Structure formats: structure tokens, C-alpha cells
Amino acid sequence: MADKKPLLAFDDIHVEVEGTEVVKGVSLTINAGETHAIMGPNGSGKSSLSQALMGHPSYEITKGEAYLKGESILDMEPDERSRAGLFLAFQYPLAIPGVTVANFMRAALQAHRGKDADMSDFRKLFKAQMDDLGIDHAFATRYLNEGFSGGEKKRIEILQMAMLQPTVAVLDETDSGLDIDALKTVAEGINRYHNDDNGMLLVTHYQRLLNYIKPDFVHVMMAGRLVKSGGPELALQLEDKGYDWVAAEANQKVEV
């Protein structure tokens, strides 16, 4: 694309959790149409960065700037960031007993469109997106994530993304807990969402997700910092050689 538009840009982000700095100056720009992947070992700060960008109160951004479509998001509440176009798919989606999947999706879409918006198309849209993700319509009346398998929870996360159509989707280890069939289905849903007008940030330990969702850029995070960046071939190198060689280049000690 000749004229790339920055959708999500953050600069020198530092994050603390209970007084401990876990992200130590991370900068990244995601342009329209781009998919970025952040890979790294356990404890490197990947998920903390994702949670902080979405506004989780336990993850305090102590320094840096973050912009969504040119507008600062750091003073926004999480729901405001969501309505502005930022989406986070959780590594461990929570169950909400008493709230059905259909009612949850309707409330989320209504919040995005505005309380007076026309919702007459909801049922048709909801069923179509469920069909695309191979989700049985019986799930519509089940309580959100209660008794769901790991794969079912992740499909519901991607269903929510498909319903809301965010500007930037941050997917935090969406591949964890998925068997190969569930991974393929979830990846297909993600690929249907992605287009030249939105952006994606994939957070993952393993290269296998990237077999189905091809990133434009891969970044390696260690000890709270991005220590190496490259193209999709970098993910293959990590799969082949692990993280030790990157750690040696960056003079970091990797704790796995």
C-alpha cells in the first residue's frame, strides 16, 4: 500500500504490576492492513503489554504514549478504548454465569453502535458469524464460557471480534489450548476479519498459529523489551532454534 495509515502506535511503553516493572520501553506502529506478531518465552511481558494497552487496572502504564487512529487512549477507560476500535482477545476468557452468549453479544454490539442504534439486523448477523466459525446455534442460549472447552472459548472470542469489527485486534495467545482442528477454524475466522483497513497484533509463544495467519512483521520480546524484529521467516527461525540464540544476540538471559 502506498499510503499506510498508522492505526495503533505506542512509544516507550513501561508497565508495572504490583510495583514491579514488567514492560520496559516498548515501541511499535501497526499500519492499516498489517499483521504484527510478538513472540517470546514465558514471563517476557507479552501479555502484560496487551492487558495494559486495553486498560486493565492491574497493569499500570507508568511511561510512554499510545495512540489509536491518532488519538491518545491512555486516559480512556477500557470500554472507551473498545468503542474507539481496540479489541483484546484474552488468553484465558472468563465465564459469566447467568449471561447468555446471545445477550452478551447483543449488549456488546449495542454499546458500540450506541443505545439508540437500530439492532434489527443483530439476529441475522449473529447467526451468520456463528455459521462461519462452525459454532452450533445452541451456544446462543448457553451462559458465556460456562463449561466451554478451551477451543469453544476461543471461538466465542473470535465471534465477538467478528461482530464488533474493531480497527485493531490484539489476540493474546489465541492458539493456547487449541487442537489442530480448532486452531484452523479460529485462524480462518481471524483471516476473514483482517483486511486492508484494519490491523492485528498476535501475541504467541509458538510458530504454529503463524502457519495459518501470515504476519507481515515478527518481533521477539524478552525481559520486557523488544529485542529483535524481522519478517515471517523470523518465526520459522525461532521454531527451529528456540529463543537462546536471540538471547545471546541481545545479551539477555532467557528463563523458560
pLDDT of residue 242: 87
- Alpha helices, DSSP H, located in 55-145: 78-84, 101-113, 122-132
Segment 208-219 mean pLDDT: 94
pLDDT of residue 92: 86
Q: Are 205 and 39 in contact (CB under 8 A)?
A: yes
Of 238, 237, 185, 97, which is closest to residue 174 (Cα–Cα)?
Answer: 185
In a domain, 229, yes or no: yes
Q: Residue 246 is placed in which grid cell?
A: 536471540
Query: Does residue 129 have a pLDDT over 60?
Result: yes
What percentage of the chain carries pLDDT values higher than 90?
78
Q: What is the pTM of this model?
A: 0.92
Query: Does residue 87 have a pLDDT over 80?
Result: yes
In a domain, 180, yes or no: yes
pLDDT, one tens digit per residue, over 58-68 is: 999 999 999 99
Decide which of 41 and 72 is more confident. Answer: 72
Q: Residue 224 is placed in which grid cell?
A: 520486557
Cα distance between residue 207 and residue 238, in whole Å:
8
Average pLDDT of the residues of the chain: 93
Q: Are 193 and 35 in contact (CB under 8 A)?
A: no
In a domain, 145, yes or no: no
Of 218, 222, 209, 219, which is closest to residue 256 (Cα–Cα)?
Answer: 222
pLDDT, one tens digit per residue, over 134-168 is: 899 999 999 999 999 988 999 999 999 999 999 99
Q: How far is CA 234 from the centre of its chain?
A: 20
Q: How far is CA 95 from the centre of its chain?
A: 18
Query: Does residue 1 have a pLDDT over 50?
Result: no
Confidence of residue 2 (pLDDT cuts 50, 70, 90): very low
CATH of the domain at 76: 3.40.50.300
| Inter-CA distances, 162 with 53, 71, 152, 156, Å | 20, 23, 15, 10
Cα distance between residue 71 and residue 78, in whole Å:
15
Decide which of 158 and 175 is more confident. Answer: 158
In a domain, 217, yes or no: yes
In a domain, 144, yes or no: no
Q: Residue 15 is placed in which grid cell?
A: 508497565
pLDDT, one tens digit per residue, over 12-59 is: 999 999 999 999 999 999 999 999 999 998 899 999 999 999 999 999
In a domain, 156, yes or no: no
pLDDT of residue 230: 96
Cα distance between residue 165 and residue 136, in whole Å:
21
Q: Do the strands 35-39 and 199-204 form a parallel or antiparallel pair, or are they unpaired?
A: parallel
E strand map for the chain: 6-17, 20-31, 35-39, 60-68, 71-72, 86-89, 96-100, 143-144, 168-172, 199-204, 217-222, 225-230
Cα distance between residue 167 and residue 84, in whole Å:
8
Query: Does residue 112 have a pLDDT over 60?
Result: yes
Segment 205-216 mean pLDDT: 90
Query: Does residue 109 have a pLDDT over 90?
Result: yes
Confidence of residue 176 (pLDDT cuts 50, 70, 90): confident
Cα distance between residue 3 and residue 130, in whole Å:
34
Entry field: residues in the chain: 256
Confidence of residue 220 (pLDDT cuts 50, 70, 90): very high
In a domain, 193, yes or no: yes
Query: Does residue 205 have a pLDDT over 90?
Result: no
Q: Are 57 and 139 in contact (CB under 8 A)?
A: no
- How many domains does the chain fold into? 1
Confidence of residue 91 (pLDDT cuts 50, 70, 90): confident
pLDDT of residue 3: 62
In a domain, 215, yes or no: yes
Domain that holds residue 224: 6-94+167-250
